[in-house]
Chain A
């Protein structure tokens, strides 16, 4: 009886030791540091994490980053559960009014330029696509590749979730605020859409240029039948229709540490990180 009864006690002791070890060994340094909470765009989450790493290490500050979508970040700023919101779409007038009414004036900064691209599987032979054709696909009017000159197979169109700024941007600029067809699948996050398109010959998706790896980016056919590629020159010249600024929002009344961080994100050091993350620096707007 004694050996059997001492085993559970030993287990408890082990668990307690583990807990104590975890608590004391790792990361004492964070406990008294300033904390900055950054929430928002999935498109920008990798960039934000790089900021957190570089800025946090340099200044001994804890920068906590979460994705969830531009809407999440803006909501978190409104609720007071985040200090900085990253967004791949502009805040709407209603959202701005709501926040400024509850929490005071807001500051908006453009930290990068991104290009929203339409992509298909690498084996898809389609040469280019017009925005009208994309709209027809996502509204459910066009359902087969045959209608675009490909083989007669159904088009598997993928979208981002509606908490995504990319989704809102797409809905506004490509669909003109019409409804997406119900059968269009909404995947939670950038990687899911890229993964889905990369593994399916008959899939189509959209998203930020930076995240489109392993898939073929389609040039857009403009009204005058020229093709527009999402390159730095095209974006700079305003020739690519789906270029968009990436935003950072912070309260004017935020603590100094937070505002210095936000100021830093538009500095030249941070712009280097921006380019490495696959976006275009703000000078190109």
Chain B
């Protein structure tokens, strides 16, 4: 190796080392600060009035429910759209290029703008509209206010690009021979997709769903005005309710509780739980993606 090479390896290695060190430091700090308060009282406890010492059961519940609703909405939508883009339409068609541009553009929209959209469209337009049509005499808005439903809908629009891109990738990786075999056996294009291509791309499609779920679970800016609350006295079961959320709980504890020292353990523990969920989901997605690639090979 020349001296230039040695410098090159050292410099790039140092950069890699810096990134890894940052990751390790982050993980270590979170575990050290959050693990002490982590336990069944925290995970299964109801929130206290001042949030500082209570449990995060309702926040976990709220996060799980909003993410689940989001996933139920976005996965069918995204997979179907990806099927059109990848399997049915001519690759050079104008619609395909337009949709791909739209996907790319949606991916670039800042999450706070999605929050504005969720408020302006789902809460104030769709919600108010439904209220006006279905509940004209109501004293207070039924659906025209921030709710679990609208927050999940907003998150679904936000994560749509992730699902579409990952699914398209997964579908494209399915070998041509499988499609041709299906056609040779007399299946129509759609039958071939549903019975052969989709199952073959199953792991990749699931990757997209899991990545979207991870993104949705960690997203706070988009739910600020569309449904999250700092305190609900019971676990949300009605999609018209507000809900607590792990990420928002961390933010509230960091900025809005009066007991700064007392709330720190719960705050870090909540952050730790949230990171375990999102990073855990991401790890699952990575494993799925690796397995999908190997299966194709």
Contact = CB atoms under 8 A, between A and B. Distances in A.
Q: Name the residue among A28, A35, A210 with the largest chain B CB count within 10 angstroms.
A: A35
Interface string B240-260: 011000000000111111111
A178 B74 CA distance: 49
B269 interface: no
A23 B49 contact: no
B65 A22 contact: yes
A210 B284 CA distance: 46
A31 B242 CA distance: 12
B258 A194 contact: yes
A193 B138 CA distance: 41
Nearest to A33: B234
Interface string B106-121: 0000000000000000
Contacts of B255: 187-192
A49 B230 CA distance: 9
A63 B254 contact: no
Contacts of A45: 230-231, 256
A45 B295 CA distance: 54
B235 interface: yes
A285 B146 CA distance: 36
B163 to A, nearest CB: 15
Contact of B49 (A11, A52, A81): A52
B144 interface: yes
Interface residues of A, number: 56
Contacts of B51: 49
B50 A11 contact: no
B234 A4 contact: no
B231 A30 contact: no
B230 A66 contact: yes
Interface in B63-120: 64-65, 68
B50 A190 contact: no
Contact of A213 (B229, B236, B260): B260
A256 to B, nearest CB: 10
Contact of A255 (B60, B65, B140, B233): B140
B45 to A, nearest CB: 12
B197 to A, nearest CB: 14
B139 A66 contact: no
B236 A191 contact: no
Interface string A43-86: 00110011011001100001111110000000000011111000
A239 B253 CA distance: 34
Contacts of A37: 145, 242
Given A191-B257, A192-B254, A213-B258, A30 B49 contact: no
B237 A27 contact: yes
A114 interface: no
A62 B144 contact: no
A150 B258 CA distance: 28
Interface string B262-279: 010000000000000000
A49 B49 contact: yes
A82 B202 CA distance: 44
Contact of A62 (B206, B210, B230, B234): B234
A1 B202 contact: no
B141 interface: yes
B189 interface: no
B232 interface: yes
A53 B51 CA distance: 12
B237 A23 contact: yes
Contacts of B254: 189, 191-192
Interface stretch (A12-20, A93-101, A168-176, A219-227): A12-20
24 contacts: A5-B203, A8-B288, A19-B64, A23-B65, A26-B234, A27-B58, A27-B235, A28-B237, A31-B238, A37-B242, A45-B230, A45-B231, A46-B49, A46-B257, A49-B49, A49-B51, A64-B232, A64-B233, A189-B256, A191-B256, A195-B260, A211-B258, A213-B259, A253-B139
Interface of A: 1, 4-5, 8, 11-12, 15, 18-19, 22-23, 26-31, 35, 37, 42, 45-46, 49-50, 52-53, 56-57, 62-67, 79-83, 187-192, 194-195, 198, 210-211, 213-214, 253-255, 278
